[in-house]
Amino acid sequence: MQEETYKVYQHNPPHLFIPNTKYFITGATYLKKGFLASKDGKIRLLNSIKKGCEKYHWTLEDWVILDNHYHLMLNAPNTANTLSKMINEVHKFTAIWLKKNLLELKEEKRIFYNYWDSCITYETSYCARLNYIYFNPVKHGYVEEASNYMWGSYTFRLKEEFDYLDMIREKYPWDKVVVKDDF
């Protein structure tokens, strides 16, 4: 059983690793460029996230992928300190694929910039961040209704969990969440 770990890095944000806890993740492209604008780019990133979660025993609960960033809600395994390694691999393998398969990105030196994580310990914070994930495409002007954005888990959940999603939308407003998201 892993203990809680707090790691501070010289050029990156600090990370708190707690086993079996929810994590809200934001990942960004380099210089906020729209490297994930294509359907193929979004599919590749999602597949890399799923493979990384499987390899490191994280559970992907919810997600949204936009043109220059993404948000995830993950559940940590007993070894939560694998998060950095997992995200680094997700970014590495997605970047390799993008540069190889999308000609316009072939000469790019960097595809991803960094990621930020928040360890979620309160239900209120968890529900508000779920809403933030669901309504991020609305916030950034991609769609007027979150249900019209296909590159997130919201449209899939809406079919089976309408009442629950409606309740958390009303009770935990997404626009009150403070998240690094100036994309």
pTM, to two decimals: 0.89
With 0-12 / 13-18 / 19 or more C-beta atoms within 10 angstroms meaning exposed / middle / buried, residue 70 is buried
Whether residue 91 has pLDDT greater than 70? yes
CATH of domain 16-173: 3.30.70.1290
Please provide the average confidence, as pLDDT, over all residues in the chain: 90
| Domain range list for the chain | 16-173
Give residue 39's pLDDT: 97
Locate tokens 């294509």: which residue? 38
